[in-house]
Amino acid sequence: MTRTILTFLLLFSLAFCANAQEAGKYVRPKSTPKSTPKSTPKSTPKSTPKSTPKSTPKSTPKSTPKSTPKSYQTCPDGNHPHMIDLGLPSGTKWACCNVGASKPEDDGGYYAWGETTTKSDYTWETYKYCDGTAKTCRNIGKSICGTQYDVAHVKWGGSWRMPSFDQIKELKVKCKSEWTTVNGVSGRRFTGPNGRSIFLPASGYRGGDRLNDRGEYGNYWSGTQYTSDASGAYLLYFDSDKADWYYYGRRDGRLVRPVAE
Ligand SMILES: [Zn+2]
């Protein structure tokens, strides 16, 4: 009897242990399969402490002369206007042709002083900056160079502008000029200190509804108002004998040869 009990007990405990093991197996917290995809400890690319040696202070080859806008000795091609360097003391460069012209010997447009469009009748009545008479001329500036009244600046832009009275005087004083013809068109060639030149056609001027003196006189506005009378402005004037400067009423239609500095 006792033996039977012992045997039973033994079996029981064995069974119990087995159960316990089973149970244990179950209970055992799943050895978390470390699903965490190892948040790779970023191979710290250490934001490079920018010890980069100072980008060598670019030894800019300062030898390159300011080539904008480019100036030329003579027209390099047929795409006028060009900026011609005559070697003038002021550094002023002159255009190879007139405002409104497509080549050096063309007349281009005739403009009343300060106006930026051509018209068919040039009188005080049609002049934009007066009330019908010379006495009522409005002051649009002692110099209109580079302003909204400067036809060279308005039509060509960039650094182009009407020449000042000083620049016209410089052209006359520092250049030699001679009466000549280009493709059958009469005018004067102005040759600068460096031997380069520009040709200005003797295109006359427009007064009222007529074109006067064409082929005989050149009349080129400066952007400077005449000092003694606000109804006038200085201009470059020439014929077959000489070139000079003068002043005339702002109403007349005259040519404009732009400059750039
Ligand atoms: Zn040209």
- In degrees rounded to 5, what are phi and psi of residue 205? -150, 170
Helix, strand, or coil here: 208? strand
**∠ Cα 29 31 34 (to 5°):** 135
How many angstroms separate the alpha carbon of residue 70 from the centre of ligand 1?
A: 12
How many angstroms separate the alpha carbon of residue 81 from the centre of ligand 1?
A: 5
Question: Average pLDDT in the 175-204 region?
Answer: 97
Cβ(91)–Cβ(83) under 8 Å? no
How many angstroms separate the alpha carbon of residue 90 from the centre of ligand 1?
A: 21
Question: Average pLDDT in the 142-150 region?
Answer: 98
How many angstroms separate the alpha carbon of residue 87 from the centre of ligand 1?
A: 17
How many angstroms separate the alpha carbon of residue 73 from the centre of ligand 1?
A: 10
Please, how many CA atoms are within 13 Å of residue 61, restricted to the half-sphere of its CB? 3
User: What's the mean per-residue pLDDT of the chain?
Assistant: 82
How many angstroms separate the alpha carbon of residue 84 from the centre of ligand 1?
A: 8
The answer on pLDDT for 90 being more than 90 is: yes
pLDDT at 69: 57
Model pTM greater than 0.75? no
Residues in the chain: 261
CA distances from 143 to 3, 114, 161, 222 (A): 136, 10, 11, 9
How many angstroms separate the alpha carbon of residue 69 from the centre of ligand 1?
A: 14
pLDDT at 73: 76
Cβ(93)–Cβ(261) under 8 Å? yes
Of residues 72, 104, 223, 95, the one with CA closest to residue 159: 95
